Amino acid sequence: MTESVAHLSREEKQRLLQKIDEQEVRNCTQCTLCQSRTQTVFGEGNPDADLMFVGEGPGRDEDLQGRPFVGPSGALLDKMIVAMGFDRQQIYIANVVKCRPPQNRTPASSEVKACGDYLLRQIAIIKPKVIVTLGGPAAKLLLETQTGITALRGTWHQFHGLGSKRPPIDLMPTFHPAYLLRSYTQDNRRKVWADLQAVIERLKK
Ligand code: URA
């Protein structure tokens, strides 16, 4: 991690994030996903957010627009955000990988490894109070675990990736909106809503 990020203003955080996006991510060729992308999708939202969502990687709509969660999964995520009492301007949204995996496949571990440092640096700058990971890859990367999302979700975990000198960040894993759309059962919806309600309570502290 190169940036010194103690007590940064919102403007300074924005400037640092923009620098990583413009000088590193947009022209990144660290893995082969760069060959099939239309453009990179860095992430967006409030650089000083208390709440950060981390998804898997851009899909078709995101690859075309250069923005995270703007397709069908994004529409559901927007509803979740509003139901929590927020809007997109108040929170930050990023992904594990910044380029679309072909056919929306799960990113390979080599791709996550090549790209994951960008996400860690985004988190180090934003320093949210709570991270919500959406789906398996984000939880696995940030919790350094191989445990599946069904076992991880619904309980609080801690993100220790900022190093031993910085406090860990509370992390709630939940199902990915794309999974929810595929399996739109009352049970799954209840589970995700319970996870998000726990997040609302934690943010009040
Ligand atoms: N799915 C993700 O994980 N991220 C996006 O940005 C869009 C869909």
List, for residues 102-121, the tens digit of each pLDDT value: 999 999 999 999 999 999 99
Residue 3 falls within a domain, yes or no?
A: no
**Taken in order 117, 118, 122, 125, is the CA torsion positive or negative?**
positive
Distance 41 CA to ligand 1 centre (A): 10
Angle between helices 136-143 and 109-126 (to 10 degrees): 70
Counting residues of the chain whose pLDDT is more than 70, the rounded percentage is: 97
Q: Total structural domains in the chain?
A: 1
Asked, for residue 29, whether it belongs to a domain, the answer is yes
Give the global pTM.
Answer: 0.96
* Within a domain: 190: yes
Query: Which token pair is 183?
Result: 């399996």
Q: Which domain CATH number covers 170?
A: 3.40.470.10
Q: Is residue 5 part of a domain?
A: no
**Structural domain contains residue 98:** yes
Q: Assign 4 a pLDDT band (cuts: 50, 70, 90).
A: low
**Domain span at 181:** 10-203
Distance from CA of residue 198 to its chain's centroid? Answer: 18
- 132 alpha carbon – ligand 1 mean position (Å): 13
Rounded Cα distance between 174 and 200, Å, is: 14
Are the C-beta atoms of residues 82 and 90 closer than 8 Å to each other?
A: no
